[in-house]
Structures are given as structure tokens and as C-alpha cells.
Amino acid sequence: MPWDERFAAMEHDLTLQAETEAGVEREQEINDLATERSAQLSWADRCLGLHVTVRVVTAGIVRGELAMVTADWVLVHHDGATDWVVALRDVVSVVPSGGTPVTSRGEVQRRMTWRQAWNALVRDRDEVHVLRRDGSSVRGIPVVTGFDHVEIAGELVPYEAVVAVRCPR
């Protein structure tokens, strides 16, 4: 084999080796970026739009589509007639049912608080079932929201006491 062919073959082999190494490095970089992005997502963002089974302190299991995520609570569409509003701080575990998130939350959702949720429930005048941190509950129509509480059935219920609210959809 002539020398120029040997050198051409060696150069070709080195080029293939460099391309393979670059491909491996590129794939590792993509995997690292995907891992980093996943690490920056909250559990709620990872599950938004998916069917979930959520274990909640004193409320037990809540199942349905994770429809909204805010700063303080999540909205779970339980069935065609019922929703659950669940305090983020009281979620113990979440099991999503496959797939990838189909929606993303905007800045308005990120900033919503319990007060905005209660304002909507007062406006709708629907009966709700409130589960509290101590295991007790109250049923009634929310009538007034305050800075840190809602009035239901003659009781002033602090937002911090609320674990979950079962309400009409």
C-alpha cells in the first residue's frame, strides 16, 4: 500500500474517532441539560396536566387531573362534578400516571394565593367541604374572605388551617 493511502486511511480513522467522541460528548451534554432542567421543576410542574394520585395530610388520597398549580395550592379535577383544592404544604406524596406534562403554568398562577381561591369560592356561592390540619372539617357556603381567613358556617377559618377543600367543579 502506498504511503499516501496509508496516511489517508489513518486520517480517515482519526476523523471517525473524533466524530464519535464528539457525539458522545454532545449526548452527555444533552443528558446533563435535561437532568438540570428536571431538577429545577417542582413536583407540581412535573405533573401539571397529568392524572395524579395525591396523598394529603389528614385528607387521605385525592385522585384526578392536576389542573392548576399556584404558590399555595393545587387544583385537582376529581371527576366531572367535583374539584379538590389542596394546600401544597400538606401534600405527602404524588404518583403521576405516565406521560409528560401537557401544560405549563404562567406567572399569574405562580403568584395566586389562598385568598384568590377563596374569593372565587365566595363569588360562586357553592357549598364546600373544608378539611383542616387538626383532622376536623366544616361544611358550608363561604361568605367572606379576610386577609388570612375565610368565614364558613359562622366560623372564621384561617387559611393556614386548611388542608383541602372539596368543591363543585
Return d(Cα 73, Cα 113) in angstroms, integer: 7
What is the C-alpha R_g of the chain? 26
CA distance linking residue 160 with residue 143, whole number of Å: 18
- Predicted TM-score (pTM) of this structure: 0.74
Res. 34: pLDDT tops 60: no
Average pLDDT value for residue range 53-57: 96
User: What pLDDT is stored for residue 12 in this prediction?
Assistant: 83
User: What pLDDT digit, counting tens, does each position of 112-133 carry?
Assistant: 889 999 999 999 999 999 999 9
Check residue 150 and give its pLDDT: 96
- Segment 95-122 shows an average pLDDT of 81
For residues 90 and 164, is the Cβ–Cβ distance under 8 A? yes
Mean pLDDT of 68-94: 94
Whether the pLDDT of residue 100 is over 80: the answer is no
Summarize the confidence of residues 71-99 as an average pLDDT. Answer: 93
Section 128-154 average pLDDT: 96
> Which amino acid, residue 25?
E
Question: Residue 31 pLDDT more than 60?
Answer: no
Q: Which of 51, 100, 101, 99 is nearest to 77 (CA)?
A: 51
Is the pLDDT assigned to residue 25 strictly greater than 80?
A: no
pLDDT of residue 39: 56
pLDDT band at 36 (very low <50, low <70, confident <90, very high): low
